[in-house]
Structure 1
Amino acid sequence: MVRWVPGTPDRLQHAALELFAARGYEQTTAAEIAQAVGLTERTFFRHFSDKREVLFHGQQSLTDAFVAGVAQAPEDASPIELGRSALRSASAFFPDDRRPYSRMRQSVIDDNPALREREAHKLVRLGRSLLDALTARGVDDLTADVVAQLSVTAFGIAFARWIRADEHRSFEDVATDVVRRVGDVARQLEP
């Protein structure tokens, strides 16, 4: 009988990612992932509904970080300052030591159309949660929608840049640079 070992979901995630990267997502089974860390397939399914969810575990924590950033912003914060606060809060989700894992994870996702679709869906849900948090703070619907979409877009661009092989800045520094650039471009849209 296998004894309980703390950190089982993390161990399964790391094993899955290594197998997906080495053998391909489609060629790897849940049983093989579990076996790689000395567990049964049944144990795998206690933690994840399917092998795809191994790559997206923690999505709610990221969403919670965005929403917490809005909630923790000063009362007099402008809508765009709320969006920046959400991004700063989410930056803590991406410490520098997570970068190699994130690079490998994104590589696996990029190689599979169904996983790319799931990743896009994740960003849509993140935008909706941010929109709800902004409207709860009293931001009008249109402004909240614009800020939520800009914040999620800035997050996506910052993440893609943060995982590049030639990037060494912190996620927060990269995100700050992207937000600054979004502001520069947005000012050019004024009539």
Structure 2
Amino acid sequence: MARWEPNASRRLAEAALELFTERGYESTTVLDIAKRAGLAKSTFFRHFQDKREVLFGEDPLTEHLTTAIAAAPAGADPLEAVVSGFDALGRNVFTPAHRTFAVRRRAVIDAHPDLQEREALKGMNLTASITRAIAHRGAPALMARVTAELGTLALKIAYERWSDLDNTDEFSAVARQALSEVQAAVLSTRKTT
């Protein structure tokens, strides 16, 4: 590919995932990634701080989710607002075209404890953002926090299911199902105590 072609960030991310899969995360250098993408090493650093950022840098997930929560109908309860966020993710982030990338990304992260730690931190930041978005809608602090925790758990379960290559369901359907199962599990704990 020519160095001037558009979508350098996406090309670098694709090249990185290919190399992480072929050689392993530790054995792949920034220079390797840039070469595979047909770009200069300096171009890599214009888009990413380091090779971890290829996996974690650009985060449209939080923005789409929290924007949709804020835009949910005024009468929506906190969980309904979270469902609006899941629907937005299905339209804008977790699209069928993105599934293969997500599957490969997940495999790389699952194979490396330090990347798993980074993913967990990303999840904590997401939960905090959801909490703020729900509280901004007027929910009491504890309700916002609990809703965000349940929503994040459902989102994690949905992402794991959706990023399985055998799954062909749309993300929003998978996320709605996961949230329903999380709610049912919470209710069933009340019956056993």
Q: What interval of TM-score do these two structures reach, taking the shorter chain for normalisation? A: over 0.9
Unaligned residue ranges in structure 2 (runs of 5+) = none
CA distance in 1, matches of 2:130, 2:159: 17
Task: Check the 8 A contact 1:110/1:116 in 2, yes or no.
Answer: yes
Task: Check the 8 A contact 2:94/2:171 in 1, yes or no.
Answer: yes
Task: Check the 8 A contact 1:87/1:151 in 2, yes or no.
Answer: no
CA distance in 1, matches of 2:3, 2:188: 61
CA distance in 2, matches of 1:127, 1:49: 24
- Aligned counterpart, 1:62: 61
Unaligned residue ranges in structure 1 (runs of 5+) = none
Q: Deviations over 1:116-162 (max 9, x none)?
A: 11111111110001111111111101000000011011000001011
Task: Check the 8 A contact 1:134/1:144 in 2, yes or no.
Answer: yes
- Aligned counterpart, 2:89: 90
| TM-score, length of structure 2 as denominator length | 0.93
CA distance in 2, matches of 1:88, 1:147: 17
- Aligned counterpart, 2:100: 100
| TM-score, length of structure 1 as denominator length | 0.94
CA distance in 2, matches of 1:39, 1:168: 34
- Aligned counterpart, 2:132: 132
Task: Check the 8 A contact 1:11/1:37 in 2, yes or no.
Answer: yes
Q: CA deviation at 1:39?
A: 1.5
Please give the secondary structure, in 2, of the residue aligned with 1:190.
helix
- Aligned counterpart, 2:80: 81
- Aligned counterpart, 1:110: 110
Do residues 53 (structure 1) and 77 (structure 2) align? no
CA distance in 1, matches of 2:166, 2:40: 39
Runs of 4 or more above 4 Å deviation: none
CA distance in 2, matches of 1:148, 1:39: 40
Between the two proteins, the alignment pairs up a number of residues equal to: 189
Q: CA deviation at 1:18?
A: 0.2
